[in-house]
Structure 1
Amino acid sequence: MDLEITSYNNRYQIKGNLNKLNLKTFNAHFANIFEKLDNVLLDIERVESIDREGVMALARLHNESIIKSKKLSIIGLGCKELYQHFKSEEPVQEVEERMLPTGPIVAA
């Protein structure tokens, strides 16, 4: 299914597949959206599938809203790929390896 974007005021419903093939449509529709609106609501309930490029497009829109101090709300369950990308996980802490000087041990 192709991508359909319908809007009413500041609510946008995204329907179909959000992928590399129709990313131009998505980007054109939301280009400079935060210049026009302070609050944007995206309804992704009817997104059937999304690929990596589609997820990144939503992430870029999210980052733009933060940079411009605007409000972006994403509602709806959408598809599992999107949920997996945005779900919260415990941060992984990296263990720092320290190199200790080697040599003879001298006790006083």
Structure 2
Amino acid sequence: MALQILENNGTFHLEGNLNATTSRSFIIHFEHIISRLKKVTVNIEKVKEIDRNGVAAFKILLANALRNNKLFSITGNGCEDIYKDFN
């Protein structure tokens, strides 16, 4: 399943899989968003799968946001794999 990104009231909702197939385009898309906005919130409630590439993508985006003094947050109780890796 592809990854779909929808924006609603400043929160970006992900739906689908964040994996080796989708992670590179996810990074490119959100690097552009981070460059434009001061605060980026990503909701992973409807993410079915996050593999190590998807977790790495979030780490890259978090580092990018910190480097540029931007806020980047992840919300939702979607795929628990991301929380296990960040903790």
Task: Determine if the TM-score, normalized by the shorter chain, exceeds 0.5.
Answer: yes
If the length of structure 2 is used for normalisation, what is the TM-score? 0.89
If the length of structure 1 is used for normalisation, what is the TM-score? 0.73
Q: Deviations over 1:64-89 (max 9, x none)?
A: 111111111210012121111012xx
- Distance in 2, matches of 1:73 and 1:80, equals 15
Unaligned runs of 5+ in 2: none
Unaligned runs of 5+ in 1: 88-108
Give yes or no for the alignment of 1:52 onto 2:80: no
- Distance in 2, matches of 1:73 and 1:24, equals 19
Counterpart residue number, 1:62: 62
1:46 Cα deviation after fit: 0.8
More helix by share: 2
More strand by share: 2
Matched to 1:32, the amino acid is H
2:13 is paired with a residue whose SS is strand
What's the % identity of the aligned pairs?
A: 37
Matched to 2:58, the amino acid is L
- Distance in 1, matches of 2:52 and 2:64, equals 18
Deviating 4+ runs (over 6 angstroms):
none
Q: Which is higher, the Rg of structure 1 or of structure 2? A: 1
Q: What's the C-alpha RMSD, in Å, of the aligned pairs?
A: 1.4
